[in-house]
């Protein structure tokens, strides 16, 4: 109980309180910084835990030959290949002490020719889904949907040259045309909504943080059976 | 089956095909449209213009290749602008891949400057350690901002080339975030611009400008113009900034050097196609509804 509950609760409470006080009292400022640096050390363990978890889940999938286990093989092989190449700094022109991503190193090649195109492709696919969803779901079914549709249309127009060209009543880029209307939507209705959401979230964060620091909310510790 | 039913039930692969053509053709043929910079982009441009040569700015690259198409043009334009204005740039990253994004941007800007140097010039060469430095990536998110707020060397004893910060001329008289004149942040999420405003710029009392993806920028509007002196939202704003930079510094007016303006052609056509789909989708919806009522 002491190791599983009391000590973690004490650590959380002390760290949380110190970080709050470090903002309020200049004398405690350096203590807050030290805790931020400790976070960097803890993050190292998180990397190990994250990597271990990834391997465990996918190894299990491969062992049981679950649906799509072939992708898990690619994932595990990719993980270990990148890890080994990164740790040994294979083919790094600056040697083992050099920059991890030095030009010409195998780690850099993995980044440039595998990771970068894959990440960009995943994001680019969004355009296709947006187009398909806009065709099937963006309908003026009721008043709210119509307001949303009209606003989206103005923003889309305002974010392209067409908005400027269609604003024939005003000189290009001047006066109050469609691009300015799009800006107005962003600066007023959007801003008001965003502020309300942000204030709500901030109050929620304050209350949750206080509950965690004071040990009222213990959900992050998991259950006794964990 | 009526005409509207055929259109309504169109195979999604046709939509994907339309979208592909709408994006690929403008990129292949570099279709260019005029850009008319909005007040927010003009304000952002003015922030850099108003800095005096020799000023020091901190530039944080908090994004990855997924958002590179939108954010890289901003980063390149800002770095070019700083180099032109002889502003010294301290570069860092809160995202693991941000360090690579920074290196790619530096390579691009350095190549341009080197090519120009062969033909007469910039006035002074852009030297590592003197005009710019890359401190690299550190994990810890806003924790890193908290620490550099009072001391860079606590988190960054050395730069990416393993040189102690104290040995770099650019870091002379720069102990903390409070010693830079401006923070520039290009971000695609968390930690990003919001964290830089809350934990960095506001406590340090330093001005901040930033760029974010179009999806993220509405979340950042509440900070502009009091806490954020300038904001570039998405590719459109990047293209507008490139336009302003090209107008002021003609060496950057050629569209082949401006990826934002090149990509904006494709984005404009893609927006048109999406709008067309919305209109067609609504026409079929209303036809269907009116026929249903009649029955």
Classify residue A27 by its DSSP letter.
Answer: G
Chains A, B: CB pairs < 8 Å: 149
The share of chain A scoring above pLDDT 70, in percent, equals 97
Nearest by CB to residue B64, choosing from A43, A119, A190, is A119
Is 80 exceeded by the pLDDT of residue A46?
yes
Residue A223 has a pLDDT of 63
- Cα–Cα distance between B197 and B191 in angstroms, integer? 11
Is 80 exceeded by the pLDDT of residue A222?
no
- B267 interaction partners in chain A (CB closer than 8 Å): 160
- pLDDT tens digits, residue range B165-223? 999 999 999 999 999 999 999 999 999 999 999 999 999 999 999 999 998 999 999 99
Residue B45 has a pLDDT of 97
- pLDDT tens digits, residue range A166-214? 888 887 667 788 888 998 999 899 999 999 999 999 999 999 999 999 9
pTM for the model stands at 0.88
Which has the closest alpha carbon to A146: B285, B139, B88?
B285
B173 touches chain A (CB under 8 A): no
- Cα angle A146, A148, A150 (rounded to 5 degrees) comes to 65
- Cα–Cα distance between A105 and B166 in angstroms, integer? 28
- pLDDT tens digits, residue range A57-107? 999 999 999 999 999 999 999 999 999 999 998 888 888 877 777 788 899
- Cα–Cα distance between A127 and A168 in angstroms, integer? 30
The share of chain B scoring above pLDDT 70, in percent, equals 97
Is 70 exceeded by the pLDDT of residue B85?
yes
What is the overall mean pLDDT for chain B?
90
Nearest by CB to residue B69, choosing from A98, A120, A122, is A120
Residue B121 has a pLDDT of 58
Residue A225 has a pLDDT of 52
B40 touches chain A (CB under 8 A): yes
Give B53 to chain A, closest Cα distance, Å. Answer: 30
Give B3 to chain A, closest Cα distance, Å. Answer: 16
**ipTM value > 0.85:** no
């Amino acid at each position: 109980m002491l190791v599983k509950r009391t000590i973690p609760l004490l650590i959380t409470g002390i760290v949380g309180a110190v970080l709050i006080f470090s903002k309020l009292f200049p004398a405690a400022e350096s203590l807050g910084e030290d805790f931020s640096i400790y976070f960097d050390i803890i993050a190292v363990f998180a990397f190990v835990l994250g990597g271990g978890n990834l391997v465990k889940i996918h190894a299990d999938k491969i062992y049981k030959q679950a649906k799509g286990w072939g992708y898990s093989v690619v994932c595990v092989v990719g993980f270990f290949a990148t890890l080994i190449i990164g740790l040994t700094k294979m083919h790094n022109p600056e040697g083992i002490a050099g920059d991890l991503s030095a030009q010409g190193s195998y780690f850099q090649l993995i980044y440039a020719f595998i990771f970068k195109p894959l990440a960009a492709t995943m994001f680019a696919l969004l355009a296709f889904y947006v187009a398909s969803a806009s065709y099937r779901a963006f309908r003026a079914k009721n008043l709210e949907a119509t307001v949303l549709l009209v606003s989206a249309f103005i923003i889309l127009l305002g974010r392209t040259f067409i908005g400027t060209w269609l604003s024939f009543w005003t000189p290009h880029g001047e006066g109050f045309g469609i691009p300015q209307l799009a800006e107005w939507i962003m600066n007023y209705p959007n801003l008001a909504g965003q502020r309300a959401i942000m204030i709500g979230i901030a109050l929620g964060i304050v209350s949750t943080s206080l509950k965690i620091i004071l040990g009222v909310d213990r959900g992050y510790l998991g259950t006794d059976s964990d | 089956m009526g005409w509207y039913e055929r259109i309504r039930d169109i195979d999604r692969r046709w939509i994907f095909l339309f979208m592909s053509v709408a994006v690929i053709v403008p990129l292949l043929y570099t279709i260019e449209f005029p850009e008319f910079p909005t007040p927010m982009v003009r304000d952002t441009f003015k922030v850099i213009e108003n800095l005096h040569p020799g000023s020091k700015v901190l530039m944080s690259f908090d994004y990855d290749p997924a958002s590179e198409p939108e954010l890289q043009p901003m980063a390149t334009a800002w770095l070019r602008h700083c180099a032109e204005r002889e502003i010294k740039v301290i570069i860092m990253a809160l995202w693991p891949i941000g360090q690579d994004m920074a290196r790619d941007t530096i390579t691009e800007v350095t190549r341009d400057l080197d090519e120009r140097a062969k033909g007469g010039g910039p006035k002074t060469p852009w030297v590592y350690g003197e005009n710019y430095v890359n401190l690299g990536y550190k994990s810890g998110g806003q924790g890193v901002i908290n620490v550099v707020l009072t001391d860079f060397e606590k988190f960054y004893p050395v730069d990416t080339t393993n040189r102690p910060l104290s040995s770099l001329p650019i870091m002379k008289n720069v102990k903390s975030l409070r010693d830079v004149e401006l923070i520039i942040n290009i971000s695609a999420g968390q930690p990003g611009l919001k964290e830089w405003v809350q934990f960095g710029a506001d406590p340090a009392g330093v001005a901040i400008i930033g760029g974010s993806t179009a999806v993220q920028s509405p979340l950042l509007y509440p900070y502009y113009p009091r806490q954020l002196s300038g904001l570039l939202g998405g590719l459109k704003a990047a293209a507008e900034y490139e336009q302003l930079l090209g107008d002021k510094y003609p060496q950057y007016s050629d569209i082949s050097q401006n990826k934002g303006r090149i990509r904006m052609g494709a984005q404009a056509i893609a927006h048109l196609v999406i709008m067309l789909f919305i209109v067609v989708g609504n026409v079929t919806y209303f036809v269907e509804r009116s026929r249903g009522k009649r029955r």
